[in-house]
Amino acid sequence: MKGFKNAKVYVEGQGIVKTNIGFEDGKIAYIGDDCSNIEAIAEIDQNQVIVPGFIDQHIHGAAGSDAMDGTVKDLSNIACAVAKEGTVGFLATTMTQSPENITKAMEAVKEYKSTVREEGAEVIGIHLEGPFISTKHIGAQPLEYVAAPSVEVFAKYEEASGNNIKLVSMAPEVEGAEELVKYLSSKNIVASIGHTDATYAAIDKAIENGAKNITHTFNAQKALHHREIGTVGTALLRDELNCELICDTIHVSVPAIKLVVKSKPHNKVTLVTDAMRAKAMPDGESELGGQVVIVKNGEARLKDGTLAGSVLKMNDAVKNVVTKCGVPFTDAIDFATINPAANLGIDDKLGSIKVGKNASVTVLNGDFSVAMTVRDGNVIYKA
């Protein structure tokens, strides 16, 4: 079997140990002291560590492509780009747009997933961000396409996607949201609270109906106030809610990141990039949902200064959490691996290194750069 010999590996339940790991039929088949049956994919030096492959549940695009472009070619381009940052699976994330454009994006993912693909990260499914959001917190979402939450409308997108929608960002306080949250919960689709003016009471009701995630915590949501803790305060207070964090130290400051990590249970913090097509591209003019975006010095903003997604790479998000926020290395890895996997209900296959799980791992150098990414036993990136 192929695999790695005499390597430092972050093994589920053991921490980082020196061991051997073998892959067969796309799965992790062996972890232990005997390396006699393992054919090494690559030599691993003492400064490298093998960790579970990263999972990005909120990413719009990269390398000049966006999920809203609605083509198999663009999805493949994104998949290959994120493999370079250690990501083995992601949710192709849409945005508030016309029903026609959203439907086109749904159909592209359905087509993409209809064929087994060995290149790039896996498109696990879709994160439908909007159009069911609050007009008070649109962020970089186009106001003209904001729509009222509707089970009927969502069901059309669900059908167009081939039932590949895994997570929906929405405002739970808007009329019609209660029925949609209940519907999503009944289908095991994650209802996520985002782009919202929700109060504690509104979120309390949403949790009761099955909501369990907060979209890019702190960003585009009702702030904390001592007489109404709003979306941010409720996100920190309620242990049921998984908090997404864009850890580029632009969207969220270092003290704010520390506050979330300190406030939340270990398994309820998830790193996301919320990256747009300008990721892995030179600074300059880009595009998001038909809007001009200016990218400069690692920041992507609309012409009016509004943050328009990020150009963050997942390995850099992990690095920031460790080096700037003082989070232990393995905790930061969990935030990018097992936590999103559990949130999406795919932790039986991804998110940790354990016999029987998918052979999807990342080899990190000591400086957090990526040496190699392996998905289902196949090398999808090598530096």
What residues act catalytically? 274
What distance in Å separates the CA atoms of residue 232 and residue 227, rounded to the nearest whole number?
Answer: 13
Name every residue whose Cβ is closer than 8 Å to that of residue 262 and which is 6 or more positions away in sequence. Answer: none
Question: For residues 377 and 88, what is the distance between their CA atoms, to the nearest angstrom?
Answer: 11
- In the block, residue with structure tokens 């059908």: 159
How many separate helices (H) and strands (E) can be counted in the chain?
A: 10, 21
| 8 Å CB contact between 309 and 276 | yes
Asked if 183 and 158 touch (Cβ cutoff 8 Å), the reply is: no
Paired residues of 128 in beta bridges = 168
* Residues 6 or more apart in contact with residue 59 via CB below 8 angstroms: 78, 82, 90, 91, 92, 93, 272, 273, 274, 275
| Separation between Cα atoms, residue 304 and residue 138, nearest integer Å | 13
Alpha-carbon distance of 170 to 5, in angstroms, equals 46
Nearest Cα neighbor of 129 from 77, 156, 168 is 168
